[in-house]
Structure 1
């Protein structure tokens, strides 16, 4: 990427998706540890009773996440290919690299649309797998061309690669633990850091007004810049974590948690058995159980 806008626009998109996924994770009313695979399939297919009751929200009837991915990646692919062929000839191979990254995220958007309309014919977790594949290809493309960059640019992009591969790993883990709010939180957190550091990289490497790389005047300034870059990345992680905590806390106020008790044991009805309930997280109640 040779332009400041090439960092800001993708970063803004990733921030938007990170915030959206964090709100989805906070609004999920299901208890962790329960088997909700069929509920997740039906909700992604737009056919659950919960979505049919919300007729006021027409966006639930459309695969908006997949449509947004397809729209944004189509613009990105068109812009990258146009930049790679300025006069009808291939001159900038690096733009083809970015077009490839956009292509895999377009595949992820296409799978989101197919899973929405055909939830029972598609393998479960295919949408998360293709999302993890898109993140992995993005990280691989950035990693492979680090050797052709200056050391300062390498340091910025290495931190970006860490965030990208973390997103890919969290997407894969969500396939195994789809009901875990912690996994959803991790995916949203790393996506938010991914997007914010994308934008920060544009400010570090390129001037928004001149569009040229920043020149470091001395080795002391250079070493100080490396330290400040690492500190800035840490601050991005802390800021993203705090923002997500605030969003989830506000969302939980609007959606109160379920009752604080569960049915621990419910045998079949008989003359010698009784239903026993155990209060949630109250160890002292075990002393008062009567069978």
Structure 2
């Protein structure tokens, strides 16, 4: 991730994932309200969507792990350099570990929906853990890197973010570098908390769409971090020590959040409109036949 492409890759993954969740859960909600949609609302179709999602998540995670390991300046699966007696490319290993837990979440989703062994809520639990691992635990250590840390402590306004891997990930970095990663953690922690709530409130459309929104926010913000820290050739570099840039980037984060909200709302509106349009075009007799076929299909699924 120590370059523009390294931030664009997870950003693309999260952006695709957020929009996919918006489509899937909007479709779930619309079909639950309109059971006359026949095969579109059958349990078999919904299970296939879950299997597809788990397969894609596992594939994306494997791509991310391989990219972190086998880029030209990557560790090539070497954790310790015995020649220099130092750990080798720990940042790449951190990012690969992040991808590893998302891969575990994808594999768990496949196990839940392909077998009857794993409890259904296990996929949400592993996804929540993956989002938690993505973050970093940072209480007073990150503030100590900022120029106004002493002032913040004296006024009793420490900031606490939740996570694991980025505890030392930002140590010694510039002020704006730390700030853009701190902003990312709000979306990460929010996604983890929302996913953990889904363990106990599965099927809640508000929680599902909120998770989709925060995933989309993570995706666009990863791209923004890439442009700020590693601007492509021909673009002006950011002054990482300018306080005005911190003010602007905070406002920019709010714009990203607003875009994510409108994007998910737009997807929900389009899916709902498509479902209603199909429902209106379906004749009454055909709707009755589809409902009978749906019951037969669900009976086969239960067997």
TM-score per shorter chain, which class?
Answer: 0.7 to 0.9
How many residue pairs get aligned? The number is 233
1:283 aligned residue: none
User: How large is the RMSD of aligned CA atoms in angstroms?
Assistant: 2.8
2:120 aligned residue: 124
1:149 aligned residue: 173
Cα distance, 1:142 vs structure 2: 2.8
- TM-score for the superposition, normalised by structure 2: 0.70
Matches within 5 A, 1:200-215: 200-209=224-233, 214=237
2:54 aligned residue: 66
Q: Against the structure 1 CA distance between its residues 149 and 117, is the aligned structure 2 distance closer, same or farther, given a 3 Å change threshold?
A: same
C-alpha separation in 1, matches of 2:14 and 2:48? 21
Matches within 5 A, 1:191-202: 191-202=215-226
- TM-score for the superposition, normalised by structure 1: 0.73
Q: Which has the greater radius of gyration?
A: 1
Matches within 5 A, 1:78-97: 78-82=66-70, 83-85=73-75, 89=81, 91-97=88-94
User: Is the 8 Å Cα contact of residues 14 and 219 (structure 2) preserved in structure 1?
Assistant: yes
1:175 aligned residue: 199
C-alpha separation in 1, matches of 2:42 and 2:95? 39
Q: Whose helix fraction is larger, Structure 1's or Structure 2's?
A: 2
C-alpha separation in 2, matches of 1:49 and 1:179? 15
2:239 aligned residue: 216
Q: Which runs of 5+ in 1 are unaligned?
A: 32-47, 259-291
Q: Which runs of 5+ in 2 are unaligned?
A: 34-39, 82-86, 137-164, 280-303
C-alpha separation in 2, matches of 1:60 and 1:231? 40
1:134 pairs with 125, 130, 136, which one?
130
